[in-house]
Structure 1
């Protein structure tokens, strides 16, 4: 599975976990739709769940006039994936790749403002973590 696909599937799984408190293993199984398990997808989902409190703290610190609860579910979970990749992932992905991937996925799954919003927040996060 390509990394972009793994990130998109991770977004779908995290969306499901966020909305309906589904167990991570069930959410992953559901989004795979019978396909083989992907290690990168699994690492993202479990990594975000494990570090969610700290990830959400980083996101909150970089939001202006927004609370994390008011964010669209897609945007919130896409930010969580990107912050996980920037700060916690064992396999380091270049920062610009993380941002570009998040912006492209936001264009596909979010509304017309999602990509700009995700870009703005993640740019601040990147600067904070550097």
Structure 2
């Protein structure tokens, strides 16, 4: 059976899981289903959803520090839970994930999640922060290696 790699669905699931973890004890949260438990018509890339959730959780302090450096006027801890978790997810994809994904896709997906679940105009803030992170990554990767 060919695996359908629907990253949009994986990002949505990962976002919902990360969001839920802020409000519930870890043992109360249903974990990401295994591939054999996912409805094949749903088409979610389960492995990618797991990678996002585990990656964000394992690197939360690093991600938050990076986000804070690109948002000096707004404390990351004081953002809405939707915006904070969308930013964490997208920042992980932009800076830590080994996947080669066009930054525009990551940013567009984050904007869409924010529009769907966040405050009315918070997508503009999410866009600005992620755009700055993506541009910084491009500058840094363009530096010659020692």
Matching residue within 105, 108, 116 for 1:97: 105
TM-score (norm 1): 0.87
Contact 2:32 2:46 in 1 (8 A): no
Question: Aligned Cα RMSD in Å?
Answer: 2.0
Contact 1:6 1:38 in 2 (8 A): yes
Structure 1 residues 1-130: aligned runs within 5 Å = 2-22=6-26, 26-29=30-33, 35=38, 38-130=46-138
Deviations 1:42-98 (A, max 9, x none): 000001011111111110001132111110001000000101001111212111111
Return the alpha-carbon distance in structure 2 between the equivalents of residues 115 and 27 of structure 1.
28
Choose 1 or 2 for highest CA Rg: 2
Select the structure that is richer in helix. Answer: 1
Query: Match for residue 143 of structure 2?
Result: none
TM-score (norm 2): 0.78
Q: Residue 21 of structure 1: CA displacement?
A: 4.1
Return the alpha-carbon distance in structure 2 between the equivalents of residues 106 and 13 of structure 1.
15
